[in-house]
């Protein structure tokens, strides 16, 4: 099973002010997992840098 989601950054923390906001950024989170009878197996890979 594969899935991906776009990323966001919190601009104003709602815990302190009661009002918050966020913006989308051009980063994607991707995941690939294998569903097994006794749970889920997967890997996490982090790649970063300018580009």
Q: Mind listing the pLDDT tens digit for each residue in 3-44? A: 888 888 877 877 777 888 888 888 887 888 787 788 877 776
Is the whole-model pTM more than 0.75? no
The domain locations on the chain are 2-43
Q: How far apart are CA 20 and CA 7, in angstroms?
A: 16
Neighbours of 31 (CB within 10 A): 13
Closest CA to 22 of 38, 6, 42: 6
pLDDT over 90, % of the chain? 0
Confidence tier at 47 by pLDDT (50, 70, 90): low
């Amino acid at each position: 099973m594969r899935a991906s989601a776009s990323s966001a950054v919190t601009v104003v923390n709602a815990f302190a002010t009661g009002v918050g906001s966020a913006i989308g950024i051009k980063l994607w989170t991707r995941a690939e997992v294998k569903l097994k009878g006794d749970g889920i197996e997967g890997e996490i890979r982090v790649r970063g840098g300018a580009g």
